[in-house]
Amino acid sequence: MLIQPIRLIATLIAMTMLSGAASAETRTAHDFAFTAIEGGVLPLSTYAGQPVLVVNTASRCGFTYQYDGLQALYDRYRGEGLVVLGVPSQDFRQELATSEDVKKFCEVNFDLDFPMTEIEKVKGRDAHPLFRWLAEQGATPDWNFNKFLIAPDGSFVAKFGSSVKPDSPKIEDQVEALF
């Protein structure tokens, strides 16, 4: 008599685990949110229907000059819907101490107006959930200024390394294919 309830409970647990696995497989970038560098929630679902280039940034990196190229890319394609999202990170030990310091640095030195997040972890088990999801897609940042292109439907498209400049045909061709 006790076996039937145990089987029922085991079946329910198995179904719950399977449905959780299925939902993990169907997740998209739109399922994640950041805290904006100026405060407030920045849900990626806000950008549904638009391509998003997520870039892990650092203010003291040899690639920091790419902020100019990222702003130019944003300026060139924002009218068509492209969003460039800067995600400052201290994971490679080249970021300023606080998000406020990063915000001031970017305003003063680069006059950026694309969205940026607070300082986040981008690698390892403590990484921001978006970067853990990207890792599941086979795309983990291996240095600052890695670029991750997200399709308008929230799926992962491509990773571009630090040495690929924002105005590279590799990036622009992929972005243009999403419009």
Query: Catalytic annotation on 61?
Result: yes
**Res 10: pLDDT:** 42
Reported as a single tens digit per residue, the pLDDT across 70-101 is: 999 999 999 999 999 999 999 999 999 999 99
Reported as a single tens digit per residue, the pLDDT across 96-131 is: 999 999 999 999 999 999 999 999 999 999 999 999
**Res 110: pLDDT:** 96
**pLDDT over 90 percentage in the chain:** 85
Phi and psi at 162, nearest 5°, equal: -60, -35
Closest CA to 178 of 82, 42, 112, 34: 82
Dihedral angle at the C-alpha atoms of 129, 84, 106, 101, nearest 10 degrees? -10
User: Which tokens sit at 7?
Assistant: 């089987």
Q: May I ask the CATH class of domain 28-177?
A: alpha beta
**Beta-sheet pairing, 41-43 with 33-35:** antiparallel
Q: Which residue has the higher pLDDT, 58 or 11?
A: 58
Which listed residue (52, 58, 61, 82) is catalytic?
Answer: 61
Provide the whole-model pTM.
0.85
Reported as a single tens digit per residue, the pLDDT across 146-155 is: 999 999 999 9
**pLDDT over 70 percentage in the chain:** 86
**Res 8: pLDDT:** 43
Reported as a single tens digit per residue, the pLDDT across 21-54 is: 434 568 999 999 999 999 999 999 999 999 999 9
User: Which tokens sit at 126?
Assistant: 């403590």
Q: Which residues pair with 9 in a beta bridge?
A: none
**Res 166: pLDDT:** 97
Q: Which residues pair with 76 in a beta bridge?
A: none
